[in-house]
Amino acid sequence: MATSHSYFKLHMENLSDLKKLLSIPKDIVITSHRNPDGDAIGSSLALYHFLNKDGHTVKVIFPSEYPDFVAWMPDAEKIIIYDVDVEGATNALQKADIIFALDYNSLDRIDKVGDIIAPLSCTKVMIDHHLYPENFADYIMSDPSSSSTCEMIYDFINQLDQTSKLDKTIGECLMTGILTDTGSFSYSTSPKLFNTVSELLKLGVEDYKLQDLLFNSLPEKNLRLLGHSLNNRMEILEEYKTGIIYLTRDDYDKYEIQRGDTEGIVNYLLKMKNVKFAAFITEQPNIVKLSLRSKGDFSVQEIAQKYFKGGGHKNASGGASFTSLRSTIKKIKEILPEYKEQLLKS
């Protein structure tokens, strides 16, 4: 496996070529990953508003719907969802001069949209902060040390010498991804991030207002679901410093769980002092989905990649299993002895 360092591309290579391309109005499509989160939609809409200002024709395409807690974002309603509008998404992609890939680094993260993009000969630009990028873009900016793709969009605009084009709307979009990907500055922070955030606040971004919109807007059923998850679906494996929460198909029906409703549940496991590794396992219609989290040096990226065809970051990764919920939970438990030593020392 390659080390992350061999992939670090903090500065866009051949930036001047891209700058030249962007100096004339273009048809641009911005794409992000399936089940888009705050960083996916925040970075996409920030870049959308920025490029729009420059006279480009810009469309944002997601493979699947975004969750309700980001529906307030300016122009969110204009986003084309491939699952809902296959023809509109396909036409826009085929017409594009430039396609941006934000907050993902392998085409399998965008489902069928990836099959459309792969053979296209237009210019492709990847801006992303996950480990181990695939080499599918002409321009790659990959910074796994960055808190979020939103932080990187700020860097990208800065590298284009265009920070004067930033405004409150773009700032709110960027702040959204920064807040969601850092858990409101609980992790992935750095001096550079706080400098960036300082610049966003100077644009008039109201951070408390955003915090309320993003984190204090849950419907009652989500709190009931959280209670159910913690009370009835949680297992703590003390000898491995591991916590598991799972949700069954019946739970999905009973609590009318939709995309985004389970966001954040996995993090509750890490609130226990002695839990270093948290697994949230959910029974989806065709697959079993895993959300993995860790504290400290323990890498869930390795487990996601090695055992669940997934990836992500050291402390937050995801993947899938193609067997039953029960055997996926069993598999996680069988993996633990291999990591026992690491878990106990971390």
State the residues that interact with ligand 5GP by CB under 6 A.
Answer: 109, 130, 291, 310-313, 316-320
Which residue, 123 or 321, has its beta carbon nearer to ligand 5GP? 321
Shortest CB 94 distance to ligand 5GP, Å: 26
Q: Which residue has the tokens 């323990």?
A: 298
Residue 238, φ and ψ in degrees, nearest 5: -55, -40
Which residue, 169 or 188, has its beta carbon nearer to ligand 5GP? 188
38-53 and 168-181 are packed helices; what angle lies between their axes, rounded to 10 degrees? 160
Output the residue with the shortest Cβ distance to ligand 5GP. 318
Which residue, 47 or 281, has its beta carbon nearer to ligand 5GP? 281
Q: Is the dihedral of CA 217, 218, 220, 223 positive or negative?
A: negative
DSSP secondary structure of 105-173 = -SGGGGHHHHHHHTT--SEEEEEE-SSS--S--SEEEE-TTSS-HHHHHHHHHHHTT-GGG--HHHHHH
- Binding footprint of Mn ion, residue count (CB under 5 A): 5
Output the residue with the shortest Cβ distance to Mn ion. 39
Shortest CB 312 distance to ligand 5GP, Å: 3
Shortest CB 334 distance to Mn ion, Å: 30
- Pick out residues in 73-112 that bind Mn ion (CB under 5 A): 103
Shortest CB 204 distance to ligand 5GP, Å: 29
Q: Where are the alpha helices (DSSP H) in the chain?
A: 15-22, 38-53, 86-95, 111-117, 149-159, 168-181, 191-202, 207-215, 220-232, 249-254, 265-269, 300-308, 325-345
- Pick out residues in 173-202 that bind Mn ion (CB under 5 A): 181
Shortest CB 58 distance to Mn ion, Å: 20
Q: Which residues bind Mn ion (CB under 5 A)?
A: 39, 103, 148-149, 181
